[in-house]
Amino acid sequence: MVLSIAHLYYLVGAILALTAAMTLADRRHPRRYSSALFWGLYAVVFLVGDQLPPVWVGVGAIAMALIAGFGGVGVGHHAARSVAEYAASAKRLGNKLFVPALAIPLLTMIGTLSASHLKIASVPLLDPKNTTLVSLGIGCVVALALACWLTRETPAQGIRESRRLTDALGWALVLPQMLGMLGLVFSDAGVGKAVAYITTSYINMDVRFFAVAVYVVGMALFTVIMGNGFAAFPVMTGGVGVPVLVGVFHGDPAVMAAVGMLSGYCGTLMTPMAANFNIVPAALLELPDKNAVIRVQVPTALVLLTVNVFLLNFLMFR
Q: Per residue in 288-316, pLDDT tens?
A: 887 888 999 999 999 999 999 999 999 99
Band (180; pLDDT cuts 50, 70, 90): low
The rounded mean pLDDT for the chain is: 85
Which of 37-41, 181-185, 201-205 is least confident? 181-185
- CB 187 within 8 Å of CB 234: yes
CA distance 123 to 133: 19
Give the CA-trace dihedral at 258, 263, 264, 267, to 10 degrees: 160
| More confident position, 163 or 279 | 163
Backbone angles phi, psi at 161, to 5 degrees: -70, -35
Burial of 307 (0-12, 13-18, 19+ CB in 10 A): middle
Which residues, including other chains, have CB under 8 Å from residue 244's CB and lie 6 or more apart? 196, 200, 205, 211, 215
pLDDT given at position 213:
93
- CB 26 within 8 Å of CB 32: yes
Q: Is the pLDDT of residue 183 over 70?
A: no
Q: How many CB atoms lie within 10 A of CB 302?
A: 14
- Closest Cα partner for 97 from 159, 143, 162? 143
Is the overall model pTM greater than 0.95, yes or no? no
pLDDT given at position 303:
96
pLDDT given at position 282:
77
| More confident position, 231 or 222 | 222
| More confident position, 176 or 32 | 32
Q: How many CB atoms lie within 10 A of CB 203?
A: 14
Q: Is 227 left (phi over 0), alpha (psi -120 to 50) or beta?
A: left
Judged by DSSP in three states, 72 sits in coil
| More confident position, 305 or 28 | 305
Q: How far apart are the first and last CA of the chain?
A: 45
**Which of the 8 DSSP states describes residue 123?**
E
Q: What is the mean pLDDT of residues 133-159?
A: 89
Q: What is the mean pLDDT of residues 51-60?
A: 89
